[in-house]
Structure 1
Amino acid sequence: MSSTEELLKRLGVSIDTETLRLALTHRSYAYENGGIPTNERLEFLGDSILGFSVTDSLYRDNPGLPEGELAKRRSAVVSTRALAGIGRDLGIGEFIYLGQGERLTQGKNKASILADTMEALIGATYLSNDIETARQLVMRLVGPLLRDAAALGAGTDWKTSMQELAASRQLGSIYYAVEGSGPDHARTFEAVLQIAGTAYGKGAGHSKKEAEQEAAADAWRTLNKKAGANGLTTPDSKADAPTDSARSA
């Protein structure tokens, strides 16, 4: 079985070869190969299909929920973190065409790249089939998340939650050390979250905000893992368990 056949088997759809390759072509690879087309247009298309499919499901399945709560749940399900988690579960990273720089920095595991590729694959499914096939793919992918949407949608962003966690434990002030690298068209950033000179979390992304959010998420998990190991009670408040209810820019 070829690698593309394996990918399509995991997705449970058929996508023509040319469209599938386009959906997997990251801009870093496109730049290093003469400026060939990237998956960004497909990503744009898939994002719209994803958003509509999730909105339609939430609206029909929750007749008593007000608009504000529906919006929170939708934001949680279509967030970068949620989509990246789906991508990791499917092993999408191993199929993405990445430039050398992204390969060296483990771009196949970056949340932004995984989430964008998932959206591109949704768009590719629509173009190779029809809207119903694409909608069914979306529902297979996000179905488990929709069942947990009430909890997912309640969280705040990781940076805010990390700030609150640090304050509650009197750890001191948080500082993000951020460094950028790469050409302007494919700029990447790496962030390290430090408290009192000690590094607690690292993150990467295509913007400072995204890198800082990833670093905050990593630090939050690190601190709560240490708390569990020391026999401390991990907070169970909404603010202490964020889910990136808004997509990182």
Structure 2
Amino acid sequence: MTSLKESMKKDLLEFEKIINYDFKNKELLQIALTHSSFANEHKCFLYNERLEFLGDSVLGLVVSDYIFNVKKNFPEGKLTKIRATVVCEESLSKVAKQINIGNYLFLGKGEKISGGRNRISILADAIEAVIAAIYIDGGYECAKEFILFYLRDTIHNTIDGNIFRDYKTILQEIIQSKNEKLTYKLVDEKGPDHNKEFEMQVRSGGDVLGEGKGKNKKEAEKEAAKNALIKMGQL
């Protein structure tokens, strides 16, 4: 029977091929892909939270430096908004899915069963951890190359105003991470059949998180979710 460490080594080598980066220190990549739930089950393993912390800063610096130099006429406020849109869970989770990082994460049994391999927050955190691991292993330029390879299109789409943000999914992930549930409720409907306006509330428990209006219920729900995220300081 293949031992745990042998199977982990196989996964690490496969993942290196996917991201086209060969780690000098393989342990860094192992830590980057290890979730706390796995480390808690296997007491001898470190996990990726400290790397996430560093990776977030490296990511922010690379994106800031890139847009600062690409858009020399943009004021500070606009640069900040672009960076916030790029450096977010949604963008990072898309990168994570592109490289199938979820398949290579070392998760505890409970986290696997509850869908951890597809959870946006876990995927985004893992990408930040991998960025930090590359930064430590190969330096700033290697980390920059990795970040821009996967996020350059997102940066330019954001600059051009072509980025689409799925506010309902973002809000749902945030609320699920707190073990709470979201509900949407129709609170008003007015106007003639050919020109109706719907007003929806999004709630968690008994709390109203946000309200939104639209020409149909789905549009109103999206607006409610967006307004909830703004109130929560997530946008």
TM-score normalised according to structure 2 size:
0.70
* Offset, 1:62: 0.2
Is the CA contact 1:73–1:152 (under 8 Å) kept in the aligned structure 2?
A: no
- Cα gap change, 1:114 to 1:152, in 2 (>3 Å): farther
| Greater RCO, CA 8 A, separation 6+ | 1
Matched, 1:81 2:90: yes
Larger radius of gyration: 2
- Cα gap change, 1:94 to 1:136, in 2 (>3 Å): same
Is the CA contact 1:122–1:134 (under 8 Å) kept in the aligned structure 2?
A: yes
SS of alignment partner, residue 142 of structure 1: helix
The aligned residue for residue 51 of structure 2 is: 42
How big is the alpha-carbon RMSD for the aligned residues of Structure 1 and Structure 2? 4.0
- Distance in 2, matches of 1:98 and 1:81, equals 21
Matched, 1:194 2:184: yes
- Cα gap change, 1:9 to 1:247, in 2 (>3 Å): farther
The aligned residue for residue 172 of structure 1 is: none
* Offset, 1:38: 1.3
What percentage of residue pairs aligned between the two structures are identical? 30
- Cα gap change, 1:30 to 1:152, in 2 (>3 Å): farther
- Distance in 1, matches of 2:60 and 2:163, equals 15
1:110 corresponds to which of 105, 119, 130:
119
Is the CA contact 2:38–2:106 (under 8 Å) kept in the aligned structure 1?
A: yes
TM-score normalised according to structure 1 size:
0.66
Alignment of structure 1 residues 142-157 onto 2, 5 Å? 142-150=151-159, 151=161
Is the CA contact 1:80–1:248 (under 8 Å) kept in the aligned structure 2?
A: no
- Distance in 1, matches of 2:233 and 2:120, equals 11
- Distance in 1, matches of 2:85 and 2:186, equals 32
Is the CA contact 1:79–1:247 (under 8 Å) kept in the aligned structure 2?
A: no
Is the CA contact 2:154–2:163 (under 8 Å) kept in the aligned structure 1?
A: no
The aligned residue for residue 21 of structure 2 is: 13
- Cα gap change, 1:194 to 1:33, in 2 (>3 Å): same
SS of alignment partner, residue 193 of structure 1: strand
- Distance in 2, matches of 1:66 and 1:98, equals 42
Tell me which stretches of 4 or more aligned residues in structure 1 moved more than 6 Å.
152-155, 244-247
* Offset, 1:154: 9.2
- Cα gap change, 1:84 to 1:122, in 2 (>3 Å): same
| Structure 1 residue ranges without an equivalent (≥5) | 163-175, 181-186, 198-207, 225-233
- Distance in 2, matches of 1:247 and 1:38, equals 28
- Distance in 2, matches of 1:247 and 1:90, equals 29
- Cα gap change, 1:105 to 1:152, in 2 (>3 Å): farther
Per-residue CA deviation, residues 129-169 of structure 1 (Å, 9 max, x unaligned), is 111111111111111101111326797x936x99xxxxxxx
Alignment of structure 1 residues 41-190 onto 2, 5 Å? 41-150=50-159, 151=161, 158=167, 189-190=179-180
- Distance in 2, matches of 1:75 and 1:153, equals 12
The aligned residue for residue 171 of structure 1 is: none
- Distance in 1, matches of 2:178 and 2:110, equals 10
- Cα gap change, 1:3 to 1:179, in 2 (>3 Å): closer
The aligned residue for residue 184 of structure 1 is: none
SS of alignment partner, residue 189 of structure 1: coil
Aligned pairs, number: 197
- Cα gap change, 1:56 to 1:105, in 2 (>3 Å): same
The aligned residue for residue 36 of structure 2 is: 27
- Distance in 2, matches of 1:188 and 1:6, equals 33
